[in-house]
Structures are given as C-alpha cells and as structure tokens.
C-alpha cells in the first residue's frame, strides 16, 4: 500500500493504491493528503484485524448476480433440492434483495425477508428453509469468495420449529388395518410399509427382483422422486439399504407377485406405471375409516411400523437399522411416547416387592 501524489489542473491529488484479496489493485483518490493518510490508516487497521479489501467487480455485484455466481461455483445439492431453492429465491428473496448490492445488505434487510414470509402465512418450517438457504448463501460470500467480512444472516433470525409428534397406529390398530386391506389393490403398499418401515418413495420404486425371499430381505436400491417425477438410482440416505421381511409379509407377497416379471414393480398403477402417492393417500384415509383406526398418512405407516417392532422388544439401534438411518438423532422422532407402554412398565416395576427385615441390635455380653 502506498500514497502517490498526482498533479492535475487544480493542483495536486493524493492516490491510495492497495492490493485486494484477489491480487488485483484497488485505488482511491483524495484531494487532501490528510484524508488519504487517514484512509490508509483505517485500511491497515482493518487488515490487521483480519479484514479484506474487496475488488471492484465484487463490490458492484447485486444479489441476483451473486446468486448466479454462487449457483455455478458453490451449490452442491440434489436436483430436487435445487428446484426448491430456486423457487424460494424467486418467491421470497429476490422480491426484496434482488437488485441490492451484496456488500450493502445489512441484517435488517435480511430480517425483512422473513417478516414478509410471515405476512404471507408461511409456516416456521418454511421460514427455516429460507433461513438455511440465505445463511449458506452469505456464508460462502464470507468464506469462499471473501466478499463480506460477516454474515448478515444472524443466528437470532433462525425460527424455532416445534417438533410435532406424527400420528401412528398402535400395534392392535396396525393388525386391524392389515386384515382390512389384505385384498385391496394397494394392500401390498400397506403391508410392506407396516412390516418393513420403508418410505413411500422406496415402495413406489420397489421391483420384484429386489425382494429376496430366500434371505428374507428387501434390497432398497431406488426411490421415486416426486419433484422430478422419475425414479432415482438411490434412496434418500444416498446408499443402498436392506430391510427384513417378516414371515407374514413374505407369504403375502408371494401370493401377490409370484406371477409378475422380475423387472416389474411390486406395486404398480393400472398400466404398470409407478403408483401415485396422492391416490394412495386418499385410499389410505378411506381404509382407515373403514377399519375404524386412527387416520394416518402414507409416511405415518413408517411411524406405525416401529410400534410393532418395539412391542417385540426392539432396541433403539434395532429401529435405526430397520429404518436405514445413519444417526440415532434421526431415529428419535420415530420413538413415540405412549402412556399405555409407560403404565405397563410401571406395573412391572412395582410387581415385585422386596421385604427387608430390620436387623436386630447386637447384644454384647458383659463380664
């Protein structure tokens, strides 16, 4: 960094010349030397504290221009999540920040994005997704591109999302639904989900060749992506998984799919296509009403499956492996707190009473 005196038609000017964070030169001109020296001291102090000098091209970037740069260099998410991020940017971020220079965006500007989303009636979970996207967007501006010194998306703006317990069937209700749906067209979906805990998207893509009756396992290799409307060659956890086939499910599936080709879907629509989750959801609601059990969604069949396994003494680790999840934290929401189970355990705890006899004081013989 240096100060250069330049002669002009009005006398002299003073130019401060310095390197930016990318090796380029940044210059700033002052009419008075004292102003140039004061600016130089401020920049040096800022650099001593770990600050950066922003190159001109980045100082002029609008949020929309930075978004395009970020998408091409930093975004590493699934294709379906890319669609969601683009939609969130279009609906909530761009209407407020699109033409703002990224270096001029302050925390209060970011807070306005969340306030507008609230006015539109968006849920805390949706606002949390917007927050996560904005936080990542500006975090990369600080750490990867070094355009900003601090992230304007403050942690205090992160909405609190209350984790609600999903509906589920008790083991007795599950058995009632299994009996009632046995001969229904979509019965195999219900049976597979209740006995194996597979996700609806995994059942949609399940082929007969993935059902190994000899080993008593279902190999989970594919899943149907609803946003992209196609089958992707991996389930949600990104790697293949397996799940056991209890004997009742094995006998039921043998009856239903024994005449199907190996490459056909275990459960399909009328023309051999992937069955619709929306149609299944409607039919499941009707079947639950007819069977007089709790009305649940297709995903909540997965929650009901864990109840059947816990009834037989499955541990938390057993449930994690059954659901093909990588961490116990993800499994926690599938472990439901039920008063009936706790009361039964309390009964067992109090069923055995230990009687203690108070020891008699020892008498010492006195000589």
Our measurement of the distance from residue 307's CA atom to the centroid of its chain's CA atoms, rounded to an integer in Å, reads 24
Rounded percentage of the chain residues whose pLDDT exceeds 70: 83
Q: What is the pLDDT of residue 325?
A: 86
Q: Distance between CA atoms of 14 and 33, rounded to whole angstroms?
A: 6
Residue 363: pLDDT above 50?
Answer: yes
**How is the chain split into domains, by residue range?**
2-53, 63-157, 171-336
Confidence category of residue 293, pLDDT binned at 50, 70, 90? very high
CB distance 16 to 36 below 8 Å: yes
The CA-atom distances, in angstroms, between 105 and each of 97, 134, 150, 201 are 8, 12, 11, 40
The CA-atom distances, in angstroms, between 113 and each of 26, 155, 176 are 33, 14, 48
CATH architecture of 171-336: Orthogonal Bundle (1.10)
Residue closest to 225 by CA, chosen among 236, 215, 214? 236
Q: Tokens 């008790």 — which residue? A: 170
State the virtual CA torsion across 278, 281, 285, 287 in degrees, nearest 10. Answer: 110
Residue 12: pLDDT above 70?
Answer: yes
Confidence category of residue 218, pLDDT binned at 50, 70, 90? very high
The CA-atom distances, in angstroms, between 108 and each of 103, 113, 115, 160, 203 are 14, 9, 10, 19, 46
Query: 1.10.150.130, 2.30.29.30, 3.30.1490.20, 3.90.230.10: which CATH number matches 63-157?
Result: 1.10.150.130
Show contacts of 258-263: CB within 8 Å, 24+ apart.
260/208, 261/208, 262/207, 262/208, 262/209, 263/207, 263/208, 263/209
Residue 342: pLDDT above 70?
Answer: no
- Residue 319 zone, left/alpha/beta (φ > 0; ψ -120 to 50; rest): alpha
Q: What is the pLDDT of residue 19?
A: 60
Q: What is the pLDDT of residue 167?
A: 92
Confidence category of residue 154, pLDDT binned at 50, 70, 90? very high
Residue 190: pLDDT above 90?
Answer: yes
Q: Distance between CA atoms of 29 and 79, rounded to whole angstroms?
A: 47
Task: Report pLDDT digits (tens) over 52-111.
Answer: 555 556 678 899 999 999 999 999 888 888 999 999 999 999 999 999 999 899 999 999
Q: What angle, rounded to 10 degrees, do the helices at 298-311 and 171-181 form?
A: 120
Two tokens at 169?
């069937």
Q: Tokens 């009742």 — which residue? A: 248
Task: Report pLDDT digits (tens) over 19-69.
Answer: 654 445 567 777 788 877 887 777 677 666 555 555 556 678 899 999 999
The sign of the torsion formed by the CA atoms of 291, 292, 295, 299 equals negative
Task: Report pLDDT digits (tens) over 223-238.
Answer: 999 888 899 888 876 7
Region 135-154: mean pLDDT is 91
Average pLDDT for the chain: 85
Buried b (16+ CB within 10 A) or exposed e, 3-24: eeeeeeeeeebbebebebbeee
Q: What is the pLDDT of residue 18?
A: 67
CB distance 193 to 306 below 8 Å: no
More confident residue, 338 or 204: 204
Q: What is the pLDDT of residue 265?
A: 94
More confident residue, 130 or 269: 130
Q: What is the pLDDT of residue 360?
A: 58
Region 205-216: mean pLDDT is 94
Residue closest to 282 by CA, chosen among 304, 263, 266, 297? 297
CB distance 293 to 160 below 8 Å: no
What kind and span of H or E run contains 255?
A: helix 247-257
Q: Distance between CA atoms of 55 and 319, rounded to whole angstroms?
A: 53
Region 344-350: mean pLDDT is 65
CB distance 152 to 107 below 8 Å: yes
The helix/strand/coil state of 212 is: strand
CB distance 235 to 202 below 8 Å: yes
Q: What is the pLDDT of residue 309?
A: 93
More confident residue, 152 or 28: 152
Confidence category of residue 334, pLDDT binned at 50, 70, 90? confident
Cβ neighbours of residue 203 closer than 8 Å, sequence gap 6 or more: 189, 192, 193, 266, 267
Q: What is the pLDDT of residue 22?
A: 47
Region 153-173: mean pLDDT is 91
Region 355-363: mean pLDDT is 55
């Amino acid at each position: 960094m240096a100060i250069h005196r330049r002669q002009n038609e009005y006398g002299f000017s003073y130019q401060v010349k310095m390197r930016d964070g990318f090796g380029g030169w940044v210059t700033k001109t002052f009419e008075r030397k004292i102003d140039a020296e004061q600016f130089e001291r401020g920049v040096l102090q800022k650099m001593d504290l770990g600050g950066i000098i922003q190159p001109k091209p980045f100082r002029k970037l609008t949020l929309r221009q930075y978004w395009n740069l970020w998408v091409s260099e930093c975004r590493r998410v699934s294709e379906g999540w890319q669609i969601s991020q683009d939609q969130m940017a279009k609906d909530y971020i761009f209407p407020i920040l699109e033409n703002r220079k990224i270096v001029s965006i302050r925390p209060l500007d970011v807070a306005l994005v969340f306030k507008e989303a609230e006015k539109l009636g968006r849920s805390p979970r949706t606002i949390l997704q917007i927050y996560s996207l904005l936080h990542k967007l500006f975090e990369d501006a600080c750490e990867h591109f070094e355009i900003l010194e601090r992230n304007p998306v403050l942690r205090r703006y992160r909405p609190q999302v209350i984790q609600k317990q999903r509906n589920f069937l008790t083991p007795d209700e599950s058995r009632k639904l299994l009996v009632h749906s046995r001969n229904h067209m979509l019965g195999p979906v219900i049976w597979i989900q209740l006995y194996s805990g597979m996700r609806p998207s995994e059942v949609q893509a399940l082929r007969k060749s993935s059902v190994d009756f000899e080993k008593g396992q279902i190999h989970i290799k594919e899943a149907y992506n609803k946003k992209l409307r196609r089958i992707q060659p991996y389930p949600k956890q990104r790697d293949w998984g397996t799940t056991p086939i209890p004997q009742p499910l094995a006998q039921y599936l043998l009856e239903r799919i024994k005449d199907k080709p190996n490459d056909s879907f275990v459960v399909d629509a009328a023309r051999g296509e992937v069955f619709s989750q929306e149609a299944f959801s409607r039919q499941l609601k009707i079947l639950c009403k007819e069977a007089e059990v709790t009305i649940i969604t297709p995903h909540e069949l997965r929650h009901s499956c864990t109840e059947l396994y816990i009834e037989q003494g499955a541990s938390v680790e057993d449930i994690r492996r059954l659901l093909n999840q990588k961490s116990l934290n993800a499994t926690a929401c599938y472990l439901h707190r039920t008063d009936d189970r706790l009361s039964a355990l309390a009964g067992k705890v109090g069923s055995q009473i230990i009687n203690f006899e108070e020891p008699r004081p020892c008498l010492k013989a006195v000589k």
